[in-house]
Amino acid sequence: MMILAGCGTVKEANAAFDTMMQAFQTGDKTQISQYYDFDSVSNFINAEDSEQLQNAILSTLKQMSYKVEASEKMEDGSVKLQVKVTTLDFSDVMKRYMDQVMQMVSSAEYQAKVSEMTQEEYQKQLANCMLNVLAQTDIPSTENTIEVTMIENDGSWQIGGDKDAFLGALFANLSDAVNSLI
């Protein structure tokens, strides 16, 4: 009986993980908001630019793939998943972004306007640089294997204590990088 109960627990945790990943892949913001706070991407930019940036980031996740390679029920009732995730290579995204920002700030046009530029105008230009990079179709992908702990809370399964690490791997810490530069 215990083996069967453990097997059911693992299946439930895997199914909940699949539901979450499908939300990310489809870009369903309502479902995603259960797992990820988009305000972390938009604290410093206006609502219109934030919406565009969120949509661009979500569009990159449509290209993501994943495979649960192993699942194990732990003694505390949680289920540890080993997941192989293939996403855009966000280190390449950030390199391209930095290159665009450097080109922007070194341009004569930018230099002529910088002394009169408002914070909002500056942030808009940075957001546009990121949007331009995310629209590029030649960004390579990268594959990472990560561990995800699923815990049951009030009858539903969710990511456990390693949620930030998982989301950081999924988004390759893109939101933190963007916020640090805006």
pLDDT digits (tens, 9 = 90+) for 115-155: 999 988 888 888 889 889 988 989 998 888 888 899 998 88
The owner of tokens 């732990």 is 74
Alpha carbons 44 and 75: distance in angstroms, whole number? 43
- pLDDT over 70 at 112, yes or no: yes
What is the token pair recorded at 138? 């030649």
Q: pTM for the complete prediction?
A: 0.74
Band the pLDDT of 47: cuts 50, 70, 90.
Answer: low
The CATH class of 2-90+138-181 is alpha beta
Report the distance separating Cα 179 and Cα 175, nearest Å: 6
pLDDT of residue 4: 35
Amino acid at 15: A
Share of the chain above pLDDT 70, in %: 81
